[in-house]
Structure 1
Amino acid sequence: MNIFIRTDASTDIGTGHVMRCLVLAEDLRNKNVKVTFICRELPGDLIEHIENKGFPVISLPSPGNSKPANEDGISNENWLKLNWKTDALQTIDAISKQPTIDWLIIDHYEIDKKWERIVRPHVKKIMVIDDLANRSHDCDVLLDQNLYRNLEKRYEELISESTTTLLGPKYLLLRQEFRDLKYVQIEKGSVKRILISFGGSDPTNETMKAIKAIKIINQRDISVDVVIGFSNRNYSAIKKSCKKYSNIKIHYQIDYLAKLMTEADLAIGAGGSTTWERCYVGLPAITIETAENQSEILSYLSEIGVVCHLGVSEKVNEEDIASNLIKLINYPNMLRDMVNAAAFIMRDFNDCLVVERLLGGEK
C-alpha cells in the first residue's frame, strides 16, 4: 500500500499537524505501508525532523517569505488560503510521478473541498484530519480525535453522507512513547513536581508566563520541568530566565515527554494533541488557549472537570497562573477529581482503530 500525507509545520502554524501525522505514519510503516510526506518549505517546517524519522518528504517551494509576513503583509500561515489552487496543482505535480496512491491523508486548516476535488482524481481515497469543523470536505474518511459537546453532529453539514467519521479520543493518534509506558501514574496528591509544556513552537510565549508564575509562588521544594521545542523562538530568553533557579530544569526537543508527564503532579500547558496525552497518563493541568481551535475543547474539558482552564492567552498573566497554582497545591482533592474525569473520557481509547480503517479492517 502507498500512502501520502499532505501537512505543514512552521513557526506560525505550529508543529501539531506534523507530529500527529508522524504517529499515524509510524503505525502504518509498522504494517509495511509506504508513507511519503508532502510539505511546504517554511520557517520551522520540520522537514528535516520528518526525514530523520525515516520518511521521504516531497518539498513544495517556499512562498518566498523569510519572515512571518512578506512584503504584502501575507503570513506564511495564510499563504495557502490565498493560493490554494497553486498548492493543489503543485501537489498533483508531485504525486503524478509516483505509483498508484491508495490514500492521501490531509492535515491542514487551509485545505478544504475546493482543493480536495482538484486532487481527488489522482488518488484512490482521501482522509482528512480536522478539528475545526469550519469548512466543507470532499473525503472518504474524516478523523477528529477531540472531544466536544456536540461531537456527533459537528460535521453533518460539511461532508457527504458516504463519508466515514472517526470522532473522539477513542481514535487518538497517541505517540509510541506513551503506549510504551509500563506504568501510568493515576493517583495525584500533593504537588511536588510541575511540568510546563506549550508545544513545539509556543508562538505566544506562554512558557515564560508560566515560569514567572513559578517564581511568584516561590516554593523551592517543588521541582519544575520546562519542555521547549526547536521551533520555539524564545529558547535563549527562557533558558536565561531559568538559570538562577536550581529547582527548574529545561528539556530541549526531547523524546521522553511521556516519562516527564508520569513523574509530574501537575502540568501547565495549552490545548492540542498534548491535551489527550495528559489525559492518557492522568495528569491534571492548568491550561491556556493559545490558538482559536483550542477554545471549544478546553472550555468543555473545564466544564466536565478535566482541566483548570484560564482562558485566552492575551487575557491570562503570570498572576492568574500563580493564583490557580496555589489553589491546586492547597486542595489536592481537586487534582484527584481531575484525574478521575480524564480517565473516564479516555476509557474507550484503542490505538489500532485508525490504521485498521485505512487498511480496510474497520467499517
Structure 2
Amino acid sequence: MNILFRVDSSFAIGTGHVMRCLILARMLKEAGCTVYFAMRVGPGDLCDEVEHEGFPVFRLAYDGPVIQEVDAQWTMDVIRRLLQPIDWCIVDHYELDRRWEENVKAYVGRVMVIDDLANRPHQCDILLDQNYYQQAQQRYHGLVPSGCRLFLGPQYMLLRPEFDEARRYAPIRNGQVRRLLLFFGGSDPTNETEKALHALKELDFRHLDVDVVVGKANLNRVHIESRCREMGFHYYCQIDYLAELMAKADFSIGAGGAAMWERCFLGLPSAVTVVAENQRQSTEDAAAYGAVWNVGWHADVKSDDYADIVYRAMTSSEQLKRMSRKAFELAGSMREYTVHPIVEALLEG
C-alpha cells in the first residue's frame, strides 16, 4: 500500500502537524506500507528531519499564502511523478478543505483528514480528531460525507512508543512539587518559555529541579539555553525522550495541543496556556473535566501569572493529586489496543 502525507511546518504554524503525521507514518511503515511526504519549503520546515526518518519528501517550493487550487495541482504533480497508485492521501492542514480534497481525490484511492478545528467541510473517507471535547460527536455534523468514518477523542491519540513505556512507571502524583517541566511546543512562537523563566527567576525557586524543553524551530532557543545555564536549569533541544521527562516531573507548564494529551496520558498535572485558536476549546473542556488548569490565552498571560501558577501548585497538594487522577482517567482508554485503529482502518481500505 502506498501512502502520501500532505503536511507543513513553519516557525509560524509550529511543528505539531508534522510530528503527529510522523508517528502515523512510522506505524504504517512498520505495517509494510510505502510512505511519502509532500511538504512546503520555508523557514521552520521539517523536510530534512522527515527525510532523516527514512521517508522520501517532495518539496513544494512556492511562496505566499496557500491557494487551494495551486496546492492541489502541486500535489497531483507529485502523485504523477511517483508513477504508482497512491492508495491513501493523508492531509493534515488547516488551510485545505473539501475543494482541495475533491481535486486530489481523483488521483488517489481514498483521502484521510487529520483535523481539530471542525470549521470547514471535508471530502474524505476517514477523519481523525484526537482531542477531547464535551460535544465531540456533534462537531463534524454536516462537514463530512455520510460514509466518512470518524475517529474522535484522545483514545485515538497518535503517541510515540516511548509514551507506552513511560506510562508503565508513571505514578499518580503525590501532590509534592520538586521537579518542574516547561515545554511550550516545538516552535513556541509567542515565547512563553522565556515568560515562565522570568517568573522562576523572580521567585528564586532554587529548590526546584527544572527541565526546560524547546524544539529546533524555536527562534529564541539560544537565549533560552543561556538563561537556563545562568539559572541552573536543565536545557533540552529537539529530544526524543520527552516522555521520560514527563514521567519524572511533578508538575508542568506548557501549551495546549498534542503535548497536553501526552501529559494527561502520563498523569502529569499541568497548567496549560492556549497559544493557538485550535487549542482553545479542547483546553477549556479538559480543564472542565479537571485534568488540567487553564492559564488562558497567551496574549493575556504575563510572567506574574506563571509565578502565581507555580506558587499555586506548590500549595495545592490535594488539587494536584486529583488532577493527576483525572488526567489518567481522561486518557485511560488511549491504549486499549495493540494495533492503532487508524492503521487498521487504512489497511482495510
TM-score, normalising length from structure 1? 0.93
Q: Deviations over 1:154-188 (max 9, x none)?
A: 00110111111000011100112212334222233
- 1:19-58 equivalences under 5 Å are 19-58=19-58
Counterpart residue identity of residue 36, structure 1: Y
Aligned to 1:142, the other structure's residue is in SS state: strand
Q: Which is further off, 332-341 or 129-138?
A: 332-341
Which residue of structure 2 lines up, in the alignment, with residue 68 of structure 1? none
Counterpart residue identity of residue 47, structure 2: I
Q: Deviations over 1:79-135 (max 9, x none)?
A: 11xx11111001001111221111100000001000001111100000000000000
Q: CA deviation at 1:360?
A: 1.4
Q: CA deviation at 1:304?
A: 1.4
Q: Provide closer, same or farther for how the CA distance between residues 221 and 149 of structure 1 changes in structure 2, counting only shifts above 3 A.
A: same
1:89 to 60, 69, 73: 73
Task: Give the whole-Å Cα distance in 2 for the aligned partners of 1:243 and 1:344.
Answer: 37
Task: Give the whole-Å Cα distance in 1 for the aligned partners of 2:174 and 2:160.
Answer: 23
| Contiguous gaps of at least 5 residues in structure 2 | none
1:289 to 250, 274, 278: 274
1:187 to 148, 165, 173: 173
Which residue of structure 2 lines up, in the alignment, with residue 204 of structure 1? 190
- Residue 271 (str. 1) matches residue 259 (str. 2): no
Task: Give the whole-Å Cα distance in 2 for the aligned partners of 1:265 and 1:187.
Answer: 6
1:134 to 119, 127, 136: 119
Q: CA deviation at 1:45?
A: 0.6
CA contact (8 A) 1:7 1:106 kept: yes
Which residue of structure 1 lines up, in the alignment, with residue 3 of structure 2? 3
Q: Which is further off, 216-225 or 85-94?
A: 216-225
Task: Give the whole-Å Cα distance in 2 for the aligned partners of 1:189 and 1:307.
Answer: 14
2:160 to 175, 187, 192: 175
TM-score, normalising length from structure 2? 0.96
Q: CA deviation at 1:249?
A: 1.2
Aligned to 2:185, the other structure's residue is in SS state: coil
| Contiguous gaps of at least 5 residues in structure 1 | 64-75
User: Pairwise CA RMSD of aligned residues?
Assistant: 1.2
Task: Give the whole-Å Cα distance in 2 for the aligned partners of 1:167 and 1:193.
Answer: 33
CA contact (8 A) 1:216 1:319 kept: no
Q: Which is further off, 347-356 or 86-95?
A: 347-356
Q: Which is further off, 201-210 or 339-348?
A: 339-348
Q: CA deviation at 1:211?
A: 0.8
Percent sequence identity over matched residues?
Answer: 44
Which residue of structure 1 lines up, in the alignment, with residue 213 of structure 2? 227
Task: Give the whole-Å Cα distance in 1 for the aligned partners of 2:34 and 2:270.
Answer: 37
Task: Give the whole-Å Cα distance in 1 for the aligned partners of 2:142 and 2:7.
Answer: 24
Which residue of structure 2 lines up, in the alignment, with residue 302 of structure 1? 287
Task: Give the whole-Å Cα distance in 1 for the aligned partners of 2:193 and 2:22.
Answer: 25
1:336 to 321, 325, 329: 321
Q: Deviations over 1:276-296 (max 9, x none)?
A: 110111101111110000000
- Residue 116 (str. 1) matches residue 101 (str. 2): yes
Counterpart residue identity of residue 185, structure 1: P
- 1:214-253 equivalences under 5 Å are 214-246=200-232, 248-253=233-238
Counterpart residue identity of residue 22, structure 1: L
Q: Deviations over 1:34-88 (max 9, x none)?
A: 110110101111000001111111111131xxxxxxxxxxxx5xx11xx111110
Q: Which is further off, 326-335 or 179-188?
A: 179-188
Q: CA deviation at 1:240?
A: 2.2
Which residue of structure 2 lines up, in the alignment, with residue 260 of structure 1? 245
Q: Deviations over 1:220-249 (max 9, x none)?
A: 111100001000001122122222212x11
Aligned to 2:236, the other structure's residue is in SS state: strand
Aligned to 2:180, the other structure's residue is in SS state: strand
Task: Give the whole-Å Cα distance in 2 for the aligned partners of 1:217 and 1:326.
Answer: 9
Counterpart residue identity of residue 201, structure 1: S
Counterpart residue identity of residue 303, structure 2: E
- Residue 353 (str. 1) matches residue 341 (str. 2): yes
Task: Give the whole-Å Cα distance in 1 for the aligned partners of 2:125 and 2:210.
Answer: 44
Which residue of structure 2 lines up, in the alignment, with residue 67 of structure 1? none
Aligned to 1:97, the other structure's residue is in SS state: helix
CA contact (8 A) 2:173 2:268 kept: no
Counterpart residue identity of residue 158, structure 1: L
Task: Give the whole-Å Cα distance in 1 for the aligned partners of 2:174 and 2:280.
Answer: 26
